Amino acid sequence: MASSFVHLHLHTQFSLLDGANQIEPLVQQIKSFGQPAVAMTDHGNMFGAIEFYRKAKEAGIKPIIGCEAYMAPGSRFAAKDSGLAHNDYYHLILLARNLTGYQNLINLVSKAYLEGFYYKPRMDKEILKEHHEGLIALSGCLSGEIPYLIGQKDMAGAMAVAGEFQEIFGKEHFYLEVQANGLDHQRVANSGLLEIAKKMDIPLAGTNDCHYLKKEDFRPHELMLCLQTGKTISDPNRMKFDTDQLYVKSTEEVSAAFIEFPNAVTNTCRIADNCDLQLALNKTHLPQYTVPEGFTRETYLERLALDGLAARLQERPSQILPAAYELRLREELTIICSMGFAGYFLIVWDIIKFARSRHIPVGPGRGSAAGSLVAYALRITDLDPLVYTLLFERFLNPERVSLPDIDMDFCMERRGEVINYVVDKYGKDHVAQIITFGTLGAKAAIRDVGRVLEIPYAEVDRVAKLVPNQLNITLQQALDQEPKLRDLVETDTRVKELMGIARSLEGLARHASTHAAGVVISEGPLTDHVPLYKGANDEIVTQYSMGDVEKIGLVKFDFLGLKTLTMIKRAENLINERHPDNPPLIMEQVPFDDPKTFTLLSSGKTTGIFQLESSGMRDLLTGFKPDRFEDIIAIIALYRPGPMDLIPDFIKRKQGKIPITYEVPELEPILKDTYG
């Protein structure tokens, strides 16, 4: 490699509230330094690995995916081990050399969460032996086992551990990690590491344990650590790093810092040269639905769809000719099967069928999937797309190859039963929910930084309230839009510091949680593709977020829990309990043209009614006075940014105050329902 240094120990924002490097600025800084590669080694996880891989590749930088592992002193299964005075884990840097190493790293970090979690996700040497192939290991920072033993003046123990790691990873794939951070403890560790390196012929690697991008980010990083621990900046017992050197340094800065260890610097390039991970992104791994003997997935889907359509037309006779239904169904089946999505439809059909068989309320369907006659025939959706002239091409189009996306709505209280069914059917190793990350928004950043700086609440609140109430607004946008906020920053030094630090921290990942709807089902074990994490309620969750899960080709299914469905079911049960002598009310049989329903809607008394309960929508209902189902469709479509401006004209056309004209007469059948 042309450069003589590569950062191999570096924390991004996915070392939650510990690392402050956002990936895009990081990659650009590495590029500006002329460094050809960079590693990502977050604490115990691989949360940001795919975003890091993609953005580094786009910038022409070689991505090295790694992890700073937490190592249990004994077995990962033990809740507490003796033999470590200050903590219950050591640190170890692991780097993936190739695809085998990447998959082993996935297995290691998954087992650390699922088997070894005790305050931190912990591995042990037993699983390192199982999953060492394709990995390079560095002995870690001062919290590594070898530096710790050196600090305890146990050189014999440190050498024994170094020998263990050499045996696990192979002599050419284990390095002793030295750092130049100005700490006295580090100088002691470096001296011991150099001694071991000479005695045991183990190469050195120089790292900087980067936690933030630039030297001036030291203070914002200190405040971020206070956010993590709930402390204030004046607390003498707060967690802090006793050095301001943990930033992403240039090659020249690193070379000067490691003047005593020149080989440790050049060895980083040797390590980077040995790493060549190539991921096959955007290649879909569809789970396979098992069909009865004598069928393929395609022929089974065809049989179910034809039988289902016949049953639908018998239940709900239509004025549209049966031949039109059959033609549309055949066209859809041809597209679905030619695109390889028959299995996807069968999986969704099976899930919905299970829910209905257990009397779990299921939504009638929403989004573009409502345009599919196959979905209607399979009872995935409950709206006839021909009656409402809905387009299949909006859902699935061979000219725009993308996975189908069918939202499945279930009763909020019983959604878990459906997920458990999927886990039982496909196996717990094949099903997981999806992680999501809460980030530090503009107002939250001001309030959190204000607390850490111990600025009076009223003063911080005054500043935060000057940020406009705009979705996803940044602090820079707030300063551009609000003159009072700008004036405060320019005239008050304390507010200037508050805003400066808040701007440094806004947008950083703050915590991990479980996505409200997303579930992944895989053909093979999930750990062939994605690392796993244990959620707050012990649910198994992917370590990659929704977008990254799709990038690696896994198929996401949306299982939404809707309180509206729960409320409807309760209302149905209450009505039937209170009127036992009447024929039972069945929600699916309620007509779409009931006059009393439209009178109620026109009164604006729609609090608690899905998509019709906001104050703006209630005003629209009272002004528009819908009297047919097509009116409801139209106003929901209109009530959003853009078409909202057309609402006054729309109401006047319905009321006959503006004449309805058709510039192209042939378009009247299409435009008639929306008053031209």
The model's pLDDT over 552-603, given as tens digits with 9 standing for 90+, comes to 999 999 999 999 899 989 999 999 999 989 999 888 888 888 899 999 999 9
CATH of domain 23-213+248-274: 3.20.20.140
CA angle, 642 as apex, 637 and 646 as ends, to 5°? 70
- The pLDDT > 70 percentage for the chain reads 98
- Looking at residue 574, what is its pLDDT? 94
- Helix, strand, or coil (residue 579): coil
Check pLDDT > 80 for residue 81: no
Q: Are 92 and 139 in contact (CB under 8 A)?
A: yes
Q: Of 139, 136, 147, 196, nearest to 169 (Cα)? A: 136
Reported as type and span, the H/E element at residue 432 is strand 431-439
Token pair of 320 as six digits: 């549209």
Query: What does the pLDDT look like over 463-517, one tens digit per residue?
Result: 999 999 888 899 999 999 999 999 999 999 999 999 999 999 999 999 999 999 9
- Looking at residue 79, what is its pLDDT? 66
pLDDT confidence tier of residue 287, bands split at 50, 70 and 90: confident
pLDDT confidence tier of residue 644, bands split at 50, 70 and 90: confident
Q: How many Cβ atoms are within 10 Å of 233's Cβ, its own excluded?
A: 17
Check pLDDT > 70 for residue 82: no
- Looking at residue 649, what is its pLDDT? 86
The reported pTM is 0.89
- Looking at residue 51, what is its pLDDT? 98
Q: Are 65 and 105 in contact (CB under 8 A)?
A: yes
CA distance 125 to 345: 44
- Looking at residue 80, what is its pLDDT? 57
Q: Are 6 and 175 in contact (CB under 8 A)?
A: no
Token pair of 37 as six digits: 């590669």
What letters, b where the CB count within 10 A reaches 16 and e where it falls short, cover 530-545?
Answer: bbbbbbeeeebbbbbb
Q: What is the DSSP letter of 529?
A: T
Check pLDDT > 50 for residue 216: yes
Q: Would you kindly state where each structural domain of the chain is located, as residue ranges?
A: 23-213+248-274, 297-436+513-564, 591-674
Kind of pairing between the strands at 62-71 and 120-123: parallel
Q: Of 351, 368, 348, 349, nearest to 360 (Cα)? A: 351
- Looking at residue 502, what is its pLDDT? 95
CA angle, 180 as apex, 224 and 10 as ends, to 5°? 45
Q: Average of pLDDT values for 335-347?
A: 94
